[in-house]
Amino acid sequence: MTPVSEKTPGQKIFSVFFRQGYPADLKLLAAWLAAGIFAIYIPLLIPWLDITAIRVALVLPVILFIPGYSLISALFPKEGDIDLMTRIALSIGASVAVVSLIGLGLNFTPWGIRLDPIVISLTLFAMVLILVAHYTRAVLPPQERFRMPFSALAGSIRDEIFPKGAGRIEQVLSVALILGIVITLMITIFVITVPRQGEQFTEFFILGENRTAADYPDKIRPGQDYPMYVGLRNHEYRDMRYTIETWMIRTEFNNVTNTSRMVTVDPYDRLFITLAHNETRIIPYNLSVNKTGYNRAEFLLFNDAVPGFEVAGSDRINASYRDLHLIVRSDEG
């Protein structure tokens, strides 16, 4: 059989990926990656199933080890390139760097730093590097390829940390390194499992008929519907029941006093919406009037208690949690 190193590029690629078995550590990486992705999305498929501890155990290596290990495996395919402890330490450090850079890159894309883009990016990065690592090992002579010593892993790690004949200072430094890694992992687990509650607020917005911040109705005629959208996103860290009120208003401006006053304030619509934390709802909405004379559409959001209708006009607007308005013109022309 012709050695891989002596084949043409096409034959080499075919032989590596379709005829040679994958190393055990790379197969374990791919399997763990698949299990971690499943653990991330299983609460969306089965909401009543609580597997928080299992999810943490499966997902942490996907973030803190697998990206770096796949990269280090691709860069150092030979058995003697680096020792085992250096390989493991570099894998952890490289994973932190890779995840940070991926997050930074996503921040400048339309997708942003959200769950799905992060999962897809990490998965693609790890799978491509796993394939590259398999290729770089496969083109080496079998005796030179790195093999993870699973059967003697604990002993290998012990010998790397506490080599025979090591002095007291080296042993102390090794113990300090282990404690540092353990503390770092414990802090990371704590941060992931007990996230700090951030600022509590609600996003309240209105969109035009094309679901963009444009094309709002500005001239409305009685009896006609003008499509638009009303949106909410809950960042309150609890389930919220919202009330949205729409009021049609006519204001007049006094040039002498340089102030405006509300002449007409008519209720138009009221919506009730319940949202879980981090849930977003964008609702199709039709704006219309049954008489002329209005020049402003006011949208009021209440998040808890809603005042009675004895509270009206500017007092009601001030009592709302959020308020938005559109400047419109309502006439027959």
In DSSP notation, 268-308 reads: EEEEEEEE-TT-EEEEEEEE--SSS---EEEEEEESS----
- Cα distances from 64 to residues 93, 96, 225, 314, in angstroms, run 8, 6, 54, 54
Helix-then-strand count for the chain, H and E: 9, 9
Q: Is the pLDDT of residue 68 over 90?
A: yes
Answer yes or no: is 79 within a domain.
Answer: yes
Is residue 2 scored above 70 in pLDDT?
Answer: no
Mean pLDDT to the nearest integer, 294-306: 91
pTM of the model: 0.53
The pLDDT of residue 163: 65
DSSP 78: B
Of 276 and 19, the one with more pLDDT: 276
Whether 114 is in a domain gets the answer yes
Same domain, 154 and 205: no
Mean pLDDT value across the chain? 83
Task: Write out the two tokens for 243.
Answer: 């009330």
pLDDT beyond 90 at 177: no
The domain boundary, picked from 136, 161, 186, lies at 161
Are residues 207 and 66 part of one domain?
no
> Does residue 157 fall inside a structural domain?
yes
Q: What's the CA gap between 24 and 312, in Å, rounded?
A: 71
User: What strand order describes the sheet that includes 259-275?
Assistant: 259-275, 240-254, 296-302, 322-327
What pLDDT, on a 0 to 100 scale, did the predictor assign at position 180?
Answer: 75
Asked if residue 89 is part of any domain, the answer here is yes
Share of the chain above pLDDT 90, in %: 33
CB contact set of 125 (below 8 Å; sequence gap of 6+): 67, 70, 98, 102
What's the CATH code of the domain at 275? 2.60.40.10
CA distance 333 to 331: 6
170: in domain: no
Domain count, the chain: 2
Say if residue 95's pLDDT is above 50. yes
Range with lowest mean pLDDT among 144-158, 159-173, 231-245, 288-302: 159-173
Residues 95 and 8 in one domain: yes
Chosen domain end from 129, 145, 161: 161
Above 70 in pLDDT, residue 196? Answer: no
pLDDT at 51 > cutoff 80: no
In this prediction, residue 1 carries a pLDDT of 47
Kindly tell me if the per-residue pLDDT of 25 is higher than 70.
yes
pLDDT of 56: 79
User: Confidence class of residue 283 from pLDDT cuts 50, 70 and 90?
Assistant: very high
pLDDT of 322 = 94
pLDDT reported for residue 23: 87
pLDDT at 63 over 50: yes
Q: Is residue 293 assigned to a domain?
A: yes
Residue 137 and residue 19 share a domain: yes
Q: Cα separations (Å) of 143 from 114, 247, 300?
A: 44, 79, 73
Domain hosting 283: range is 201-330
> Are 206 and 325 within one domain?
yes
Which amino acid, one-letter code, is at 285? Answer: Y
- Cα separation, 288 vs 38, in Å, equals 47
Whether 166 is in a domain gets the answer no
Let me know whether 11 and 150 are in one domain.
Answer: yes
Q: Are residues 157 and 205 in the same domain?
A: no
State the Cα–Cα distance between residues 209 and 215, nearest whole angstrom. 7
d(CA 135, CA 143): 15
Q: What percent of the chain has pLDDT over 70?
A: 82
* Residues 256 and 313 placed together within one structural domain of the fold: yes
Residue with more model confidence, 181 or 210: 210
9, pLDDT greater than 70: no
Answer yes or no: do 226 and 118 share one domain.
Answer: no
- Look at residue 169 and tell me if it is in a domain: no
| Same structural domain, 149 and 226 | no
